[in-house]
Amino acid sequence: MDGGAHLNFYGSMSNDQGHLKIGGVDAVELAETYGTPLFVYDVSLIRERARGFLGTFEKMGVNAQVAYASKAFSSVAMYQLAAQEGLSLDVVSGGELYTALKAGFPAEKIHFHGNNKSPAEIEMAFDAKIGCIVIDNFYEIGLVKSIAESRSQEMHVLLRVTPGIEAHTHDYITTGQEDSKFGFDLKNGQADEAIQQLSEHRYVRVLGLHCHIGSQIFETIAFKFAAEALIQKMIQWKDTYAHTSTVLNLGGGFGIRYTDEDQPLNPSVYVEEMVGIVRKLSEESGYPLPEIWIEPGRSLVGDAGTTLYTVGSNKTVPSVREYLAVDGGMSDNIRPALYGAKYDAVLANKLDEPRSFNYTIAGKCCESGDKLIDRISLPEASPGDILAIFCTGAYGYSMASNYNRLPRPAVVFVEDGKHQLVIRRETYEDLLLNDLPFTMTERGDRIEKA
């Protein structure tokens, strides 16, 4: 490896060869060892974020659960890391639940989300005796009740509600009637109807309320409004239905820094503000302080992830732009094409060279919209250079596809100068695993199987 590592002017660690270092490992060596595109996760950053959330709750003396929203990045190794750090887990499908159980994640700390859980998925949750199901709609109330009754088995649940507050980045809006496919409306009577259908059920125990108000949120005010709305409902239910909630889950959505335009708060600030407002409201009303649960996804793994690509072709459109193409694209990161997400990047092998060229980073998929970064200053690039795009740890690999039959990339964890492959790169053989040969004749007759 290298001698004295130093911070370059973009805040990235580089070594004596001017190479980017991630978790103490030379990124160019990682690209050589594992190939590209390659997702690299700095494990120490994930640990730091997890400890930031959990430690703040502990410092404030509040019972809490920090559930990793694993849709952000789900894999056996990630679940094992989450378990090591004492996190709980939010899963949203049978597939995520299956992976978590295979990883040995403690079932009693798993929370199951989703707006259309199938009967089979709910059975799976009962089989595994998970911590709770977050019930989303009336159909699901019926399913959970009948499955619990048929098995004479208890299940803890939260009710997901839409409090009429939607927050994204710096904007939040409050709406009377929220237009969302998720949850029971808090204001129009749906949530009340839900608690009536479940109160005093023999096997299904409602722990409390859940809401998730948006993503990439940089302010605490929207969480404050959400907490107020949910606590008020809990107080009302105590009076009306003699139901005391013991859990208030305020979801995820804490913003991270993708580019200089983003100015995230320290994770502890969100927690401090949330605890402050819930404590104040419960003291004022005499309501017993509930446990506070949160579900960070992006803020646990987003900035820990970097994608390494190899630079290939380029194309100049005179007076317009210069395209620089890499060996991945929307198949490993759909976010720029899907919702115009922005990223920062460096040439990992030319970290100390001046960024005097302006490029648009194009992917290799057959879509004109397959651009990973619209415009970015980089040193002059040549084929074979390694482009590192930062903050790709959330909703990158987990949303990856085989579009154009591109094999999905490998994923590597790095920490303290060590590296470990945690998801191997797909092969062309993997792409054919589920394909079956065509066995119909031209007339539509089935050929006899040999």
Ligand X SMILES: Cc1ncc(COP(=O)(O)O)c(C=O)c1O
Joined together, the tokens standing for residue 29 give 């060596």
Binding mask 302-341 for ligand X (x = CB under 6 A): ----------------------------------------
Residue 183 sits in the site that holds ligand X (CB under 6 A): no
Q: Which residues are 38's β-sheet partners?
A: 308, 410
* Residue (37 or 253) nearer to ligand X, CB: 253
Binding mask 72-101 for ligand X (x = CB under 6 A): x-----------------x-----------
* The binder of ligand X chosen from 111, 298, 335, 408 (CB under 6 A): 298
Peptide bond into 37 cis (omega under 30): yes
Stretch touching ligand X by CB under 6 A, among 11-19, 142-150, 250-258, 382-390: 250-258
Is 395 labelled as part of a ligand binding site? yes
Number of helices (H), then strands (E), belonging to the chain: the values are 12, 25
Residue 246 sits in the site that holds ligand X (CB under 6 A): no
Three-state DSSP state, 119: helix
Per rule CB under 6 A, count of chain residues that contact ligand X: 16
Is 11 labelled as part of a ligand binding site? no
Q: Which residues are 249's β-sheet partners?
A: 210, 293
Joined together, the tokens standing for residue 93 give 């499908």
| Given the residues 132, 211, 365, 366, the one annotated as active site | 366
**What single string gives the DSSP state of each residue in 76-110?**
HHHHHHHHHTT-EEEE-SHHHHHHHHHTT--GGGE
Q: Tokens 């990158």, residue?
A: 396
- Whole-angstrom distance, CA of residue 188 vs CA of residue 72: 32
Q: How far is the CB of 212 from ligand X (least distance, A)?
A: 4
Is 425 labelled as part of a ligand binding site? no
* The binder of ligand X chosen from 23, 164, 251, 305 (CB under 6 A): 251
Is 298 labelled as part of a ligand binding site? yes
Q: Give all strands of the β-sheet with 165-169 in edge-to-edge order.
A: 171-174, 165-169, 214-217
**What single string gives the DSSP state of each residue in 333-370?**
--HHHHH-----EEETT-TTS---EEEEEE-SSS-TT-
Alpha helices, DSSP H, located in 216-266: 221-241
Q: Tokens 């700390």, residue?
A: 109
* The binder of ligand X chosen from 296, 305, 328, 396 (CB under 6 A): 296
Residues 227 and 278: beta-carbon distance below 8 Å: yes
Three-state DSSP state, 188: coil
Residue 344 sits in the site that holds ligand X (CB under 6 A): no
Q: How far is the CB of 254 from ligand X (least distance, A)?
A: 6
* Residue (263 or 356) nearer to ligand X, CB: 263
Cα–Cα separations (whole angstroms), residue 6 to 273, 351, 387: 36, 11, 19
E strands present in 102-201: 110-112, 132-135, 155-162, 165-169, 171-174, 184-185
Q: Give me the amino acid identity at 266.
A: N
* Residue (46 or 394) nearer to ligand X, CB: 394
Q: Please, is 102 exposed, middle or buried when counting C-beta atoms within 10 Å of its C-beta (0-12, 13-18, 19+)?
A: exposed
Residue 49 sits in the site that holds ligand X (CB under 6 A): no
Residue 408 sits in the site that holds ligand X (CB under 6 A): no
Binding mask 55-74 for ligand X (x = CB under 6 A): --------------x--x--
Residue 215 sits in the site that holds ligand X (CB under 6 A): yes
Does residue 391 have an active-site annotation? no
Stretch touching ligand X by CB under 6 A, among 101-109, 120-128, 245-253, 437-445: 245-253
> Pairing state of beta strands 214-217 and 291-294?
unpaired
* Residue (72 or 204) nearer to ligand X, CB: 72
* Residue (22 or 72) nearer to ligand X, CB: 72
* Residue (359 or 395) nearer to ligand X, CB: 395
Is 297 labelled as part of a ligand binding site? yes
Q: How far is the CB of 296 from ligand X (least distance, A)?
A: 5
* Residue (113 or 335) nearer to ligand X, CB: 113
CA atoms within 13 A on the CB side of 190: 21
Joined together, the tokens standing for residue 232 give 């008020």
* The binder of ligand X chosen from 131, 164, 208, 253 (CB under 6 A): 253
Residue 113 sits in the site that holds ligand X (CB under 6 A): yes
Q: How far is the CB of 329 from ligand X (least distance, A)?
A: 22
Residues 6+ apart with CB under 8 A from 205: 154, 155, 156, 157
Residue 299 sits in the site that holds ligand X (CB under 6 A): yes
* Residue (253 or 396) nearer to ligand X, CB: 253
Residues labelled catalytic: 366
User: Residue ranges for the binding site for substrate?
Assistant: 298, 335, 339, 367, 395
Interface residues with ligand X (CB under 6 A) are 69, 72, 90, 113, 212, 215, 251-254, 295-299, 394
User: Residue ranges for the binding site?
Assistant: 253, 295-298, 335, 339, 367, 395
